[in-house]
Structure 1
């Protein structure tokens, strides 16, 4: 493997990776952020239910936001800050124009926090960790995969002891919806191939033990995928794997071969373990039914036609009486229908810019002979980002807590790699007075958003168990369509009717 060649092993002393040593305050802040974020990542796969996962990600998200706002010396650059300020202003205008302003502001603040924490919290924190790439992957992605598999194995063992057969979607039914687990897998599956290609991170264990362990975990993780039969994850992973072959040549081919090996072995393991009950994997995987997506897209497009500039309000698709889902199963349509077309254009342009910038950096790193970053890690991040982006076009990847957490983590990994690969540009950055002023503004925004999200979540969660549930037919028809909490609730507050040109879906 290219990653285990002398070229890769000698890079720890490479002169290309000189970094300015952070001061004590910044170093402490980065260590706290890294520890807090990684701990949350280990809890999510073993969490008991959807709402607890929401708390697990929201708490660290708000705390990291506060640390970013008040700790450290790294400036928030003017150009990036202006982008976030523009989104904030559009989000505030959309929130004021829509109903349920407090929930609208929650979505605006939460969305900005996800982006800002990934950019200015998680990425710098991962840079500050004195870890080799293989140990970084072990902490950020391999450990959550192991814990998810352990949780499923315990469910299988309990079923065997009780002589009670598993029914679909068990043994992975504690995510609120089996597709939320699939979204989680979409981000993580590419890193199994990376773990096989990297050096052994366990200093007291033989490499053979590490390889055998990752094979066992990877095969079981893929077996869980085949059990779930998630089309979105399968197609997104297949397309992303094809993309890295085209983008990264030999490194991409190695990645694809390891992915195919694990997928095939996982399918065999699935058949051997006889995960039966309700439906088989091919029933859904081979289906061509849109499963209501066209109906949701028609609703979104019709509301975009009625409210093109500011949308119906952030998170307000969840208040539409669809009887099917709380989001349109398409990230671009969701931004357009809720925030308006200008905001959607900003989202798409910003993400598109980052995608193309990352692809350029990744291709250089994979082909360079003086890089300290193993090609397998670069390829896995590329595959994960592409797969997550594709899956977001047909599902709620950007909405559900488990996938939101991994989204931020993978974005942070990409940021760490990019900033480590080009340290001179970061170290030579000299902020102007304008940059300093913008930096203060954005830090104030991050602090305000963190406090608002934290207070809103704590207050709402505390009162939720003690509040009577709405008894209206609208609420009952739309219950358990998660957007923020598992039970939805927005349609029970101020339900939006279906657009005039869209009739209710009969099925």
Structure 2
């Protein structure tokens, strides 16, 4: 049964969702076609996935587990529907590399200590690839292409609105206490929120710039205020990796094409205003009222234990160089810090082996170079700049955090990569080989992830509590919030 907080003031949110719904309706959508129906189904599931980071619909699940369930629902629906939909066309070398990567992952899963857990990770990555290809097939459908960034921006708007409501509640409730960890919602940990923000902020900036160009002043102002609030949240929660990812990606954009400086200038202005808002809300007003806010240390210089989990991942990779210990199997060896190494390359080296990691790096490098070449063209605009900054920022953050582990983050990254393929690739018909490969991969994705939803999700809370009581562990997220395997 859904549990919804009816005291939450939804009216501004409804108005915002209504705006981008009208945007879709006014985008010259054609009469319903056989292709439009699968897209409509995926749009509904994407909306549900978006809402999984806004409201806790069932008190028995943590934010992480709720988002994982909605992610699996989206991937299970996308796997068979993507066979019916247009796809982004992969060059033959990239298709062969992806095929080799998935074959190596299957071999690694089969030889892992817990194959049933390894195949879950493999199926999830395969499902994300199919999702990216399906989104990449939106090149000739601008209405659906516009829906995705607006849906993402709507989530960011709601989070900003919630932040301001929670801030005011700290005063009007009579508690008179400001705790940074109580001022945000939707994620189990501030770092997980930062992983989403590193992609959200560039997308919001590109929409602000697009609305400004289209002279939609009121919407641009509303989005701009939400972006400024997001920067205030980022400074409140002290996300060092987030700042690094945004700084590196924006500098890279300037080096590639200085003509796209408006996106960088807009983001810099929002950051400055967000810093001033942070000073006002979290420094000056509490000082005036005699309060001592509980904030996270933004200037800490320690690695927070990452040096140790990185070392363990490297030792695991050296001990299993060919196929790794198996997908997800870093979390099969208990350590007192984390169930994943907080570094994507070391994670893949340890779990998938050197060969698969090199293939993944080659595919990623090819995609980034392809995007950089497109950005240098005269046809590149604010949408291309925003997508580039969001993807590169997430990849930079993945070097110090679990971007490729958290369900909400990795799903949005796959969607944005699909949007980038739709923008940066020629809309050609995929080869029969690619179509056949996607149809073949969709079968285990649907079967494995569907089984997880049917057999694991309903009893997840009890299973996790039993495991933690038996082994005296705490919440350490990986696949589920209790991330150690076997569970």
What residue number does 1:168 align with? 180
TM-score, normalization: structure 1?
0.81
Residue 220 (structure 1) shift: 0.9
What residue number does 1:210 align with? 219
Residue 270 of structure 2, aligned match among 262, 271, 278? 262
What residue number does 2:454 align with? 458
What residue number does 1:504 align with? none
Whole-angstrom CA distance in 2 between matches of 1:307 and 1:323 = 22
Cα 1:143/1:126, change in 2 over 3 Å = farther
* Per-residue deviation, residues 323-380 of structure 1 (Å, max 9, x unmatched): 101111110110110011111111111111111111111221xxx2xx4x6x111111
Q: In the alignment, is the contact (CA less than 8 A) between 1:124 and 1:416 conserved in 2?
A: yes
TM-score, normalization: structure 2?
0.84
The residue matched to 1:105 in structure 2 has which SS? helix
For 1:379-390, list aligned pairs within 5 A.
Answer: 379-390=385-396
What residue number does 2:19 align with? none
Whole-angstrom CA distance in 2 between matches of 1:437 and 1:409 = 23
Whole-angstrom CA distance in 1 between matches of 2:302 and 2:174 = 35
Residue 395 (structure 1) shift: 0.4
Residue 443 (structure 1) shift: 0.7
Residue 308 (structure 1) shift: 0.7
What residue number does 1:469 align with? 466
Whole-angstrom CA distance in 1 between matches of 2:442 and 2:266 = 41
Residue 448 of structure 1, aligned match among 420, 435, 444? 444
Whole-angstrom CA distance in 2 between matches of 1:290 and 1:126 = 42
Whole-angstrom CA distance in 1 between matches of 2:472 and 2:365 = 39
* Per-residue deviation, residues 294-337 of structure 1 (Å, max 9, x unmatched): 11111011111111111111101112211101111110110110
Whole-angstrom CA distance in 1 between matches of 2:339 and 2:198 = 21
Whole-angstrom CA distance in 2 between matches of 1:471 and 1:142 = 37
For 1:129-140, list aligned pairs within 5 A.
Answer: 129-130=142-143, 135-136=146-147, 139-140=150-151
1:51 maps to 2:65: yes
Residue 22 (structure 1) shift: 12
Residue 26 (structure 1) shift: 2.8
For 1:29-108, list aligned pairs within 5 A.
Answer: 29-47=38-56, 49-69=63-83, 71-72=84-85, 79-108=93-122
Q: In the alignment, is the contact (CA less than 8 A) between 1:318 and 1:483 conserved in 2?
A: yes
Cα 1:348/1:193, change in 2 over 3 Å = same
Q: In the alignment, is the contact (CA less than 8 A) between 1:247 and 1:363 conserved in 2?
A: yes
The residue matched to 2:345 in structure 1 has which SS? helix
What residue number does 2:480 align with? 485
Residue 448 (structure 1) shift: 2.0
What residue number does 1:143 align with? 154
For 1:290-439, list aligned pairs within 5 A.
Answer: 290-364=303-377, 368=378, 371=379, 375-419=381-425, 422-423=426-427, 426=428, 431=431, 436-437=432-433, 439=435
Cα 1:412/1:328, change in 2 over 3 Å = same
Would you say how many aligned residue pairs link Structure 1 and Structure 2?
Answer: 443
Where does structure 2 lack aligned partners over 5 or more consecutive residues? 1-29, 58-62, 287-291
What residue number does 2:27 align with? none
Q: In the alignment, is the contact (CA less than 8 A) between 1:30 and 1:124 conserved in 2?
A: no
Whole-angstrom CA distance in 1 between matches of 2:361 and 2:433 = 27
* Per-residue deviation, residues 17-47 of structure 1 (Å, max 9, x unmatched): xxxx999333432343344324422443444
Where does structure 1 lack aligned partners over 5 or more consecutive residues? 1-20, 494-507
Q: In the alignment, is the contact (CA less than 8 A) between 1:314 and 1:339 conserved in 2?
A: yes
Cα 1:449/1:471, change in 2 over 3 Å = closer
Bigger shift: 381-390 or 266-275? 266-275
For 1:240-255, list aligned pairs within 5 A.
Answer: 240-251=249-260, 253-255=261-263
* Per-residue deviation, residues 435-465 of structure 1 (Å, max 9, x unmatched): x355324312123212211211331111223
* Per-residue deviation, residues 382-435 of structure 1 (Å, max 9, x unmatched): 11111111000110011101211220221122122123xx34xx15x6x4xxxx
Residue 116 (structure 1) shift: 2.0
1:185 maps to 2:181: no
Q: CA RMSD in A?
A: 2.7
What residue number does 2:10 align with? none
Cα 1:174/1:39, change in 2 over 3 Å = closer
Q: In the alignment, is the contact (CA less than 8 A) between 1:140 and 1:409 conserved in 2?
A: no
* Per-residue deviation, residues 137-194 of structure 1 (Å, max 9, x unmatched): 7524321211222333343344334223242312125411110001010111112321
What residue number does 1:156 align with? 167
Residue 219 (structure 1) shift: 1.2
